[in-house]
Amino acid sequence: MDKTINQKAWFLVLPVFLVVAFSAVLPLMTVVNYSMQDTFGNNQFFWNGVGWFKELLDPSTDLGGRFLASLGRNLFFSLVILAIEVPLGIVVALSMPRQGWTVAACLVTLALPLLIPWNVVGTIWQIFGRPDIGLLGYTLNAMGIDYNYVSNAVDAWVTVIVMDVWHWTSLVALLCYAGLKSIPEAYYQAAQIDGASRWAVFKAIQLPKMNRVLLIAVLLRFMDSFMIYTEPFVVTGGGPGNSTTFVSIELVKIALGQFDLGKAAALSLVYNLIILIVCWIFYTVMTNAGAERKVQAESEPAAVPKPSASLKPVTALKPKEGVV
């Protein structure tokens, strides 16, 4: 399906372009503007050049120290939750029932945490983990484990991570489930004929088919955990001390708490730049993977005479592909 070149398509894209430009480009220009200036209040600004950026990237200053520390915490957090959620999500997707009403029941239950407002997610875990009135905190303390997420940094981290796993593993699981559903039955039959083990089936059929959705899952999870704000803010408020202060929390503190426009703007730009770079890497990998698949799909039927007028090419019956 080759796309035709048509510059008039811009008219179709124009509304989207305008709406997003209004809410993305205009505010970003304000940020760029602020990031180069300093203010003594009263709306008097003076030029500060790249001063804020220098300070931001220098760990010996207050601003730089806070930024780099929160960035480190945030990266560590993102890596930990990816390391837990991706394998767990795959396992849950593989455990989905095959048919019957249980499928719908499981899907709805899985999706439930995703539709709870983020501050309510925070509230749920804030209550659930409290040693005095929460089931989790109470039970742990009754078992003799001294657990208190308000005063103990490790407990706060564990709480925030478990909360994120609770909140978002379903997304990974649902994505993987969608990938698994797209595998034609014939693949499994072929594997059975070949006597492939369960592990071989997973490695040779299921994992390759999940590649694309897994990439989306990792992208979404990395990005969303990298800009996490509401949930840890509600549960721990960034504390105890600064132990769970992630980049967004730090940024909001500087921007809306102290109204330090220049510093906040410089931080915003660097933050955005990091996200843009990571996003670009993922996007390139994703489009390359898509292109590769297309090339594969196009080269294969060349040997077989192509059914010319049919709407759907018969690709479902290629059980040999991908089996050991």
Length of the chain: 324
Q: Which two tokens stand for residue 240?
A: 């105890």
Give me the least distance between CB of 22 and another protein, in Å please: 7
The smaller minimum CB distance to another protein, of residues 60 and 308, is found at 308
Residues 170-229 that bind another protein (CB under 8 A): 170-171, 174-175, 177-182, 188, 191-192, 198, 201, 212-213, 216, 223, 226-227, 229
Residues 1-20 that bind another protein (CB under 8 A): 1, 3-10, 12-13, 15-17, 19-20
CB 115 within 8 A of CB 107: no
- Rounded CA gap, 210 and 200, in Å? 15
Give me the least distance between CB of 150 and another protein, in Å please: 13
- Rounded CA gap, 37 and 264, in Å? 11
User: Which position among 83, 133, 289, 324 is part of the footprint of another protein (CB under 8 A)?
Assistant: 133
- Residue 148 binds to another protein (criterion: CB under 8 A): no
Give me the least distance between CB of 293 and another protein, in Å please: 11
Exposure pattern of 28-40 as b/e (b: 16+ CB <10 Å)? eeebeebbbbbee
Q: Which two tokens stand for residue 245?
A: 């202060």
- Residue 108 binds to another protein (criterion: CB under 8 A): yes
Q: Which two tokens stand for residue 9?
A: 């398509």
Which DSSP string corresponds to 50-93? THHHHHHT-TTSHHHHHHHHHHHHHHHHHHHHHHHHHHHHHHHH
- Rounded CA gap, 171 and 173, in Å? 5
- Residue 109 binds to another protein (criterion: CB under 8 A): yes
Q: How many residues bind another protein (CB under 8 A)?
A: 106
- Residue 236 binds to another protein (criterion: CB under 8 A): no
- Residue 285 binds to another protein (criterion: CB under 8 A): no
- Residue 275 binds to another protein (criterion: CB under 8 A): yes
- Rounded CA gap, 61 and 141, in Å? 41
- Rounded CA gap, 2 and 169, in Å? 37
- Residue 135 binds to another protein (criterion: CB under 8 A): yes
Give me the least distance between CB of 192 and another protein, in Å please: 6
Q: Which two tokens stand for residue 311?
A: 């709407």
Q: Which two tokens stand for residue 158?
A: 């564990």
- Rounded CA gap, 227 and 221, in Å? 10
The smaller minimum CB distance to another protein, of residues 157 and 175, is found at 175
- Residue 95 binds to another protein (criterion: CB under 8 A): yes
- Residue 94 binds to another protein (criterion: CB under 8 A): yes
- Residue 315 binds to another protein (criterion: CB under 8 A): no
The smaller minimum CB distance to another protein, of residues 48 and 179, is found at 179
- Residue 79 binds to another protein (criterion: CB under 8 A): no
Lay out the site mask for another protein across 31-50 (x = CB under 8 A, - = otherwise): x-------------------
Bond before 240 cis per omega within 30 degrees: yes
CB 114 within 8 A of CB 121: no
